[in-house]
Amino acid sequence: MILPSCPAAAGAALLARDPVMQALGLRLLESEAGHAAVELQVQPAHLNATGVVHGGVLFTLADSAFAIAANNEGEARWAAHAAIEFLRPARAGARLRASACRVAPGLFDIAVEDEAGQTIALMRGRASRAR
């Protein structure tokens, strides 16, 4: 996949081409070299049977910010590993923000926070060049 070399344009292109990000209703907030932030307005379809945001939705939100941050400099990268820690539940109506930041070559830390600034989940991801 060929991406624009401008991080903002590359982030927008990734979101536009990703049907999963679109289906979840993610909105791109920031896309800078090695950094990205996306937002999710929690809807009833994002909840699990106990009434909190499904862990898979939280993982996908964090993974989406990771994907944009890892790919927004024009070179395609894939996730080689990702691990998430769920810290507290998020509920219906919440506005969640996932922010990804490169901490070392190919290594990214991602935080998911609610509108009050409470950390909902933390993820660490490792990306490698697409072959």
pTM for the predicted model, two decimal places: 0.92
Q: For residue range 26-77, what is the model confidence (pLDDT) as tens digits?
A: 999 999 999 999 999 999 999 999 999 999 999 999 999 999 999 888 778 8
Q: Hey, is 124 helix, strand or coil?
A: strand
Contact in structure between 19 and 54 (CB atoms under 8 Å): no
Helices 7-17, 55-71: inter-axial angle, 10-degree rounding: 140
Which one-letter DSSP state was computed for residue 68? H
Beta bridge partners of 105: none
Q: For residue range 116-125, what is the model confidence (pLDDT) as tens digits?
A: 999 999 999 9
Contact in structure between 24 and 61 (CB atoms under 8 Å): yes
